[in-house]
Structure 1
Amino acid sequence: MSSSFGASVLSTFDCGEDGTEFLSQLIESPDTPAHETRQLVDTSILANSDDFHYLIECARSIQQSRHLPYENLNGNDLLSFVWHILTSEPTVPDAEEKPWAETDRLILLAKELAKDPDIRGPSARQIASYPQNIESVYPQSQISPFFPWKTRDKKSPSRPPAGVVSSVPFPPLSTSQFGLIQERLAHEPFWLLIAVTFLIKTSGQAAIPVFYKVRERFPSPTELRDPNNAEELFSMIRHLGLAANRLAFIQKYAEVFISNPPAPGKQYKVRNYERRDFLPSAMSMESLDTNGDSKCLSPGAADDEANAMAWEIGHMTQGKYTLDSWRIFCRDELLGRAQDWNGKGRQPEFQPEWMRVLPHDKELRAYLRWMWMREGWEWNPETGERQVLRPELEAAVNEGRVEYDNAGGLRILETARR
């Protein structure tokens, strides 16, 4: 399957997995300014130009160092040396190098004979017992082979890859909240979507204060949609980056929440996302109907394959992080299944929507790991598999003796973190 235009443009950039789809949609969006798209495309096209210039310089250097006669039939032009570099072939036939082999051998022998004899006193007996002809596996330019082995084995701690380790400390299971802004906005789905837009490709420490300032200045979707407020809103979020694209999404969410807000029984197809589970009480109420570029569900065809790929906010976003956040914190309340995202007002055997979500975002993964622990399970965010929570891990979490490892999981500490 061929990649989209946006994905092709981003292929030369180092983008996180959870941001690639969002940025690809921004590039393909008609709301994105044309000059910014053109600049990004030009940058992508020229991204590998430096490698080409380095290749030519390398070939020219080899060409100048060979000093081959002009009558040589093996090729003296620059492209011949480029070809030798790309194919890893020798630039001079072995037959031309063999006459110098004996000379090289004699030079090496003379260097060996020119060395002073290795004479050591009694105190150096232990050092002399080591074989002198063993080649060191450590680069001689970095560490002396006579340093202690422990010094040579010491390595600086590696940094975890970006987008893997949560920035929110893992709280005890007895606390009422984990610490995500989505928890505070769970009963306000519109503002939850706006907050998520601020958090994409931006740390919460930088984005959340700006979100609250924007909400205080423009407290309703009508004000956010108003074109007269666009310039002021743009200036408030400009320093976060991607300001034009964030502004377009904010205005889109505001417009849709006014004209066609999410509602039970209306779903829209989402590409490359998880299948939706059908509840028996809802299967007789859903089918496909065409609504512009989106597909809205209405009574009649619940068994259609396309229905399983449709969601209540599919006409607003196709981004996985946004969809995951909305499903975890808002979907049950929208559909009237429960009074909040954790099954409030329902019987104990009720399974909230968050139990069926497999997010890629590091913060949502840490949050669901914590939620599953409160249910008595250790949860694997890659597969969704569970095992009974170990008593030692539960005790360590409640005592603050855990920290994230480089894979985003948890490891137990001897003492509580400060």
Structure 2
Amino acid sequence: MLSVGETQKILEKLNLPPDFLSTDSSLSDVPSDFDRQDEPWCDSTNNPPTKSIHFHPPPTTSPPGTPVKQSRLLEPETPRSSRPKLPKVSPYFPVLLGDPESCLPFPPVDAPSFGLIQEQLAHDPFKLLIATIFLNRTRGGVALPVLFKVFSRYPTVDAMAVADVSELVSMIHCLGFQNQRAKKCISIAQIWQTNPPVKNKRYRKLHYPRKLDGRDVGPSECARDEDHRVAWEIAHLPGVGAYSLDSWRIFCRDELRGLATDWKGTGATTQGFVPEWKSVLPQDKELRAYLTWMWLKEGWIWDRHTGDLTPASEKMLRAAQRGGVAHEEDGNWILETSPVKKAVHGFQV
């Protein structure tokens, strides 16, 4: 298990600030109206690292009595603070940052897979977490070719742990946020080498999945499986926010805990076993679409806000069996399969 000193050496090697592990990923979390923090993993000293406080001084103003600059027939110039701010655009993104068009192909419910990269990487949780870092704020069509190129160059945890930061940055330059992404990938690999996620060792993640969750778990504490407090096996890794945690819970957690051989419950022997994916309420639109599809396979309409289930009508199930194109509207997925549509439990068929 890493000590605080060993952890700080890893951060210094990657030119990361001392509080890097105390802040949540700007790439992996859904924006919220409350502060969210990552906390360090178990450590033999039981002392959390010191957090840095960054102070930004207020902008300077003109001293009293300074005449106001006039222009255009003495019309006062618009104050700088009231001028509209132009959006910041990254040259590496094809479109402005923000949610892309919420429109996805829905395969028939009897199809073997939905088409998410997480399904392919479900048995390799390290690569799945790296994929979530690449996919955040980036379309799959842009991110995935780069992701597989990186996996080809760094196929294992050990290979990624010794990756050259500048080389990795160059490989993923087109994705934007390349410095953050590269450093997080290498940091995850280096910590994974000595403290990988394992059964019966969970760490706190403040305010996940609900506000105030994790506050009753100490910053340097490991919760065991019999402990009912909210904590997670991968919360000690840097850059692991809500999107990464949701993906890992849906596709990897049951296998890690030895409850089943995959996320669908295959091989489960525990009486009354309920797959982890059935308790996840993700914010990411593709994960929401996937869970909508998974519940439809079992004959249910799923409410993404509450997790409540409503029996799907026969007409809805027939439409789901054909598949089609769906778009998200007012929080519900609209499945379009024919020119004539009728609303059914939040869907159109």
Same-fold status (TM-score > 0.5) = yes
Quote how far apart the aligned CAs of 1:170 are: 1.1
Aligned to 2:255: 333
Q: 1:18 to 1:364 in 2, by over 3 A?
A: same
Quote how far apart the aligned CAs of 1:412 are: 4.7
Tell me if structure 2 keeps the 8 A contact 1:165–1:406: no
Correspondence for 1:185 among 121, 129, 146: 121
Deviations 1:132-151 (A, max 9, x none): xxxxxxxxxxxxxxxxxxxx
1:263 aligns with 2:198: yes
Q: In the aligned structure 1, how far is the partner of 2:315 from the partner of 2:265? A: 28
Tell me if structure 2 keeps the 8 A contact 1:166–1:408: no
Tell me if structure 2 keeps the 8 A contact 1:164–1:362: no
Correspondence for 1:296 among 215, 222, 245: 222
Tell me if structure 1 keeps the 8 A contact 2:203–2:231: yes
Q: In the aligned structure 2, how far is the partner of 1:244 from the partner of 1:364? A: 26
Tell me if structure 1 keeps the 8 A contact 2:199–2:233: yes
Aligned to 2:266: 344
Tell me if structure 2 keeps the 8 A contact 1:225–1:251: yes
Q: Secondary structure at the match of 1:195?
A: helix
Q: In the aligned structure 2, how far is the partner of 1:414 from the partner of 1:355? A: 26
Scaled by the length of structure 1, what TM-score is found? 0.56
Quote how far apart the aligned CAs of 1:396 are: 1.6
Give 1:207-286 correspondences, 5 Å limit: 207-226=143-162, 229-274=164-209
1:329 maps to a residue whose letter is F
Q: In the aligned structure 1, how far is the partner of 2:74 from the partner of 2:243? A: 55
Quote how far apart the aligned CAs of 1:337 are: 0.5
Q: Secondary structure at the match of 2:114?
A: coil
* RMSD after superposition: 4.0
Give 1:153-172 correspondences, 5 Å limit: 162-163=98-99, 166-172=102-108
User: Is there any run of 5+ residues in structure 1 with no aligned partner, and where?
Assistant: 7-14, 27-37, 50-55, 66-77, 86-160, 276-287
Deviations 1:184-238 (A, max 9, x none): 00000011001111011111111111110001011111111115x2221111011
2:243 maps to a residue whose letter is Y
Give 1:73-112 correspondences, 5 Å limit: none
1:186 maps to a residue whose letter is A
Quote how far apart the aligned CAs of 1:171 are: 1.1
Quote how far apart the aligned CAs of 1:167 are: 4.9
Deviations 1:63-109 (A, max 9, x none): 947xxxxxxxxxxxx79x99xx9xxxxxxxxxxxxxxxxxxxxxxxx
Scaled by the length of structure 2, what TM-score is found? 0.66
Identify, as 1 or 2, the structure richer in helix. 1
1:365 aligns with 2:291: no
Aligned to 2:243: 321
Tell me if structure 1 keeps the 8 A contact 2:217–2:229: no
Q: In the aligned structure 1, how far is the partner of 2:338 from the partner of 2:321? A: 12
Q: 1:327 to 1:412 in 2, by over 3 A?
A: closer
When Rg is computed on C-alpha atoms for both structures, the one with the higher figure is 1
Quote how far apart the aligned CAs of 1:349 are: 4.5
2:167 maps to a residue whose letter is E
Deviates more, 1:396-405 or 1:238-247: 396-405
Correspondence for 1:199 among 129, 135, 144: 135
Q: 1:416 to 1:189 in 2, by over 3 A?
A: farther
Tell me if structure 2 keeps the 8 A contact 1:396–1:402: no
1:410 aligns with 2:333: yes
Which structure's relative contact order is higher, taking Cα pairs within 8 Å and 6+ residues apart?
2
Q: In the aligned structure 2, how far is the partner of 1:322 from the partner of 1:412? A: 27
Quote how far apart the aligned CAs of 1:413 are: 3.7
Number of residues paired by the alignment? 270
Q: Secondary structure at the match of 1:250?
A: helix
Q: 1:331 to 1:226 in 2, by over 3 A?
A: same
Q: In the aligned structure 1, how far is the partner of 2:141 from the partner of 2:37? A: 25
Quote how far apart the aligned CAs of 1:312 are: 0.5
Q: 1:209 to 1:294 in 2, by over 3 A?
A: farther
Aligned to 2:230: 309
Q: In the aligned structure 1, how far is the partner of 2:194 from the partner of 2:156? A: 14
Q: In the aligned structure 2, how far is the partner of 1:324 from the partner of 1:406? A: 22
Q: 1:309 to 1:222 in 2, by over 3 A?
A: same
Q: State, as a whole percentage, how many aligned pairs show the same letter.
A: 39
Q: 1:392 to 1:323 in 2, by over 3 A?
A: same
